[in-house]
Structure 1
Amino acid sequence: MGRFISAAVLRDMAKLGKNIVLEEDSVLTPSAKDLAKELGITISKGREEIIGHNVVGQAGVQLINSESGVKAVSVSSGTEVTNTKDTDLKKAVQKILGEVLKPACANPKATHVKGETVVIQPFPEAPPGQKVGLVDVIDSRVGNLASGFMTFDHSRLPWFLNYDEVDYVIEGEFVLEVGGQVFRAKAGDVLYIPKGSQVVFSSPTFCKVFYCTYPANWAEFCD
């Protein structure tokens, strides 16, 4: 299986150069492709240029994958890396990628959460007067994604997602405003929200939603 290159990984790589060469089995996420166009990054796989911006004479970054993950990263501008400075850059990039790509949970384990033990608490980040409840039932202590329940009682919650999220509506009407769109979901519906989205969650009545987020330790990436 190839290495998925997320927008967060690509942003760190771009700090060292805008001409990036990926291994053949690497896969760019949609958000990474959008970021490449936004930052004017040229991305190639081998000899094939997959996203081009005619970058000439700039340092580049090469990502080398292996079955165990990122094996090495080298900085290149058309010549081989030979000096100490470039070696230090390689080590710096390896460290950055190691931090970005490391799993949220070092030892994920199968977990059973009994429904009768779940107690949804008032969400302290909700605006004054808004009745929003939330509880995590799975977090980075046991897995690489988090999940839990949230409720909205005639309430609205503006929020910025620095993580990917999937929502499943259990009961009531759940409204999601994102990117100029308004989704009105009912019980049984599923919604996906990409990382980097500014949203407004709400319900005109009462709703209960089950959510999953990735990564589980998303709060660590918040500014």
Structure 2
Amino acid sequence: MGRFISANVLRDMAKLDKNIVLEEDSVLTPSAKDLAKELGITISKGRQEIISHTVGGQSVGQLVNLQSSVKEVSVSSGTATDAESQSDDLKKAVQRILGEVLKPACENPKATHVKGETVVIQPFPEAPPGQKVGLVDVIDSRVGNLASGFMTFDHSKLPWFLNYDEVDYVIEGEFVLEVEGQVFRAKQGDVVYIPKGSQVVFSSPTFCKVFYATYPANWADFCD
């Protein structure tokens, strides 16, 4: 099983260097990828860069350069008016970028009908090697602010960090959830709620199929 890199682990690694190279079998949790974007951490596996930090189409370096330019112009101008003008320009640029980052997952939610016969559960690429975990979103941020879908576990486990709220409904089989020292053994018809910020282990000792709903809908943005 590959090494899972949580947000806390990544934060410690970033104290030494913000250009981080991971082993090929390492798996970043959603919160770790979000943290990388937040702190401007570049992450690579071998020679492949998997996260290059940008915000609203501009890199952190560009923002720093913009701020530096404002300071240089303010100093060289020697007038308070020019300094204030440049400061206002910087504020507007930052507000525009933040507006892009903080906008809703779906700007135009719409009623959607997904036919069951069209749903195909695919192997989950973030699952540890050898673990048979399937997952598919049927509602995502293209149509709503709340996502939903199906996942399966075939004698398998999936350590995970939830950077979002989730509700799970067991369709068939035995679904086991370990969270903060608690173990929930859910069967067909049971419902489980998991709050944002939980470090969990999903599993099934046999086989299970689960319907899930998450908020916000763009929980999978970390895979981008």
* TM-score bin (small chain): 0.5 to 0.7
**Is 1:125 aligned to residue 151 of structure 2?**
no
State the match for 2:183 in structure 1.
182
Return closer, same or farther for 1:126/1:149 CA change in 2, 3 Å cut-off: same
Q: Do the aligned partners of 1:120 and 1:150 also contact (CA within 8 Å) in 2?
A: yes
SS in structure 2 at match of 1:218:
helix
User: TM-score if structure 2 supplies the norm length?
Assistant: 0.55
State the match for 1:215 in structure 2.
216
Question: Percent of counterpart pairs with the same letter?
Answer: 91
Return closer, same or farther for 1:181/1:85 CA change in 2, 3 Å cut-off: farther
Once the two structures are superposed, the pairs formed by residues 15-94 of structure 1 within 5 Å of their partners are none
Q: Do the aligned partners of 1:107 and 1:143 also contact (CA within 8 Å) in 2?
A: yes
State the match for 1:102 in structure 2.
103
Q: Aligned-pair distance for 1:192?
A: 1.0
Q: Aligned-pair distance for 1:211?
A: 0.5
Once the two structures are superposed, the pairs formed by residues 137-176 of structure 1 within 5 Å of their partners are 137-176=138-177
CA deviation vs aligned residue, 1:67-124 (integer Å, no higher than 9, x gap): xxxxxxxxxxxxxxxx989978986886687456521011111110000000111111
Provide the rounded CA distance (Å) in 1 between the counterparts of 2:191 and 2:95: 37
Provide the rounded CA distance (Å) in 1 between the counterparts of 2:196 and 2:100: 18
Q: Which has the higher contact order (CA 8 A, sep 6+)?
A: 2
Q: Aligned-pair distance for 1:128?
A: 1.4
CA deviation vs aligned residue, 1:158-192 (integer Å, no higher than 9, x gap): 11111111111111110011111111111111111
Specify which structure has the higher proportion of strand.
Answer: 1
Name stretches of at least 5 consecutive residues in structure 2 with no aligned partner. 1-83
Give the partner amino acid of 2:128.
P
User: TM-score if structure 1 supplies the norm length?
Assistant: 0.56
Specify which structure has the higher proportion of helix.
Answer: 2
Return closer, same or farther for 1:221/1:152 CA change in 2, 3 Å cut-off: closer
Q: Do the aligned partners of 1:162 and 1:222 also contact (CA within 8 Å) in 2?
A: no
Provide the rounded CA distance (Å) in 1 between the counterparts of 2:223 and 2:121: 24
Provide the rounded CA distance (Å) in 2 between the counterparts of 1:197 and 1:96: 29
Q: Aligned-pair distance for 1:141?
A: 0.7
SS in structure 2 at match of 1:217:
helix
Return closer, same or farther for 1:132/1:222 CA change in 2, 3 Å cut-off: closer
Q: CA RMSD in A?
A: 2.4
SS in structure 1 at match of 2:221:
helix
Provide the rounded CA distance (Å) in 1 between the counterparts of 2:184 and 2:209: 16
Q: Aligned-pair distance for 1:129?
A: 1.4
Return closer, same or farther for 1:154/1:139 CA change in 2, 3 Å cut-off: same
Return closer, same or farther for 1:221/1:96 CA change in 2, 3 Å cut-off: farther
Provide the rounded CA distance (Å) in 1 between the counterparts of 2:85 and 2:181: 49
SS in structure 2 at match of 1:220:
helix
Q: Aligned-pair distance for 1:218?
A: 2.0
Provide the rounded CA distance (Å) in 1 between the counterparts of 2:86 and 2:181: 46
Q: Aligned-pair distance for 1:219?
A: 3.2
Provide the rounded CA distance (Å) in 1 between the counterparts of 2:222 and 2:110: 23
Return closer, same or farther for 1:147/1:97 CA change in 2, 3 Å cut-off: same
State the match for 2:203 in structure 1.
202
Q: Aligned-pair distance for 1:134?
A: 0.7
